[in-house]
Amino acid sequence: MDGYMSTKVAVITGAGRGLGRSAALKLAQQGVGIIGTWNSDAASAEAVAGEIEELGCKCAMLELDVSRCDTFPAFADEVCKALEQSFERTNFDFLINNAGVGVHASFVDTTPEQFDTLLDIHLKGPFFLTQALLPFLHEEGSIVNVSSGLTRFALPGYAAYAAMKGGIEVLTRYLAKELGPHGITVNTIAPGAIETDFGGGVVRDDQSVNDFIAQNTALGRAGVPDDIGGAIAAMLSEGNRWMTAQRVEVSGGMFI
């Protein structure tokens, strides 16, 4: 275990699957305690908690719908209880805004309802969740916001989704500016195409899509969750304390 990391606690939204699960496990391997959230699959979240505990780290899994800003004050109270009961402390060190959904629709077919769903989960949710949890984030802590490679390259069907992720990248820079005096770093990680159940699992399950990605990626394959989980853990390491307000794309060189 890493001596620096083993004193830390991370709050990770969407920790029950995909990128969030990988980030939780990669951090736990370095000794970081985990407070994860889940929304629709309690069993998967509990399974991840078991994996983390097998690594010798403490873990608490809390239910959260990141589209429901009205629940954030109560959720912050639950985080405080988990910190006191599981970790015997009153603050945490890392916040990873990861939870998300995929909506694939052309610009002309995107509905206001789809737009609002993406807005609530990918931009409004992280904005106000960070606001609600900020009083409990340790000074000299770190925030990582999960964006997407789709803010750099454009693929039809992701206009609304990418617009929200572009917003989170701008928010990252503003948070870095405003929270910098407290020693808090704020960065964005922008994954490329990853083999998960995100967006119906199209990258993982559709071989033609997977082949297209591999052909257009410098490293010759689609990504897997551990490519991103490992990068998040690296961004939060002691050696990267001087990095803030940055967008780090982890895509294997997609569309370069």
| Residues with a known catalytic role | 161
Q: How far apart, in whole angstroms, are the C-alpha atoms of residue 209 and residue 221?
A: 11
Strand order in the sheet with 59-63: 59-63, 33-38, 9-12, 92-97, 137-146, 185-191, 247-250
Q: Which residues pair with 250 in a beta bridge?
A: 191
Residue 96's nearest CA partner among 146, 33, 166 is: 146
The answer for 89, left when phi > 0, alpha when psi is -120 to 50, beta otherwise, is: beta
Side chain identity at residue 137, one-letter code: L
Q: What is the DSSP string of 209-249?
A: HHHHHHHTBTTSS-B-HHHHHHHHHHHTSGGGTT--S-EEE
Distance from chain centroid for Cα 55: 21
Count of CA atoms in the C-beta half-sphere (13 A) of 128: 16
Sign of CA dihedral 191, 196, 200, 203: positive
| Token pair of 248 as six digits | 């780090």
Q: Which residues pair with 94 in a beta bridge?
A: 10, 142
